[in-house]
Amino acid sequence: MEIKVKLLLSRGMEMPAYATDGSAAVDLRAAIEADTTLTIAPGERALIPTGLAISPESKNVVAIIAARSGLAIKKGICLANSIGVIDSDYRGEICVGLLNTSKEPFSVARGDRIAQMMFMPVYAARFLQVDSLDDTERGTGGFGSTGVK
3-state secondary structure of 69: helix
Q: How far apart are CA 124 and CA 148, in angstroms?
A: 33
Closest CA relative to residue 50, chosen from 11, 2, 85, 77: 11
Q: How far apart are CA 114 and CA 119, in angstroms?
A: 17
Q: How far apart are CA 84 and CA 7, in angstroms?
A: 20
Per-residue model confidence (pLDDT) at position 14: 84
Question: 145 pLDDT exceeds 70?
Answer: yes
Question: 142 pLDDT exceeds 90?
Answer: no
Residue 10's pLDDT band (boundaries 50, 70, 90)?
low
Per-residue model confidence (pLDDT) at position 149: 83
How confident is the prediction for the chain on average, in pLDDT?
Answer: 93
Task: Classify residue 78 by burial, with Cβ atoms within 10 Å: 0-12, 13-18, 19+.
Answer: buried
Per-residue model confidence (pLDDT) at position 137: 87
Question: 53 pLDDT exceeds 90?
Answer: yes
Percentage with pLDDT > 90 across the chain: 84
User: What average pLDDT does this structure show over 72-78?
Assistant: 97
Per-residue model confidence (pLDDT) at position 21: 95
Please name the residues in contact with 48: beta carbons below 8 A apart, sequence gap of 6 or more.
Answer: 30, 31, 32, 38, 95, 96, 97, 98, 108, 114
Question: 88 pLDDT exceeds 80?
Answer: yes
The residue that leads in pLDDT, 33 or 22, is 22
Q: What is the CB neighbour count within 10 angstroms for residue 90? A: 15
Q: How far apart are CA 23 and CA 50, in angstroms?
A: 20
User: What average pLDDT does this structure show over 67-89?
Assistant: 96
User: What average pLDDT does this structure show over 4-27?
Assistant: 88
Question: 71 pLDDT exceeds 70?
Answer: yes
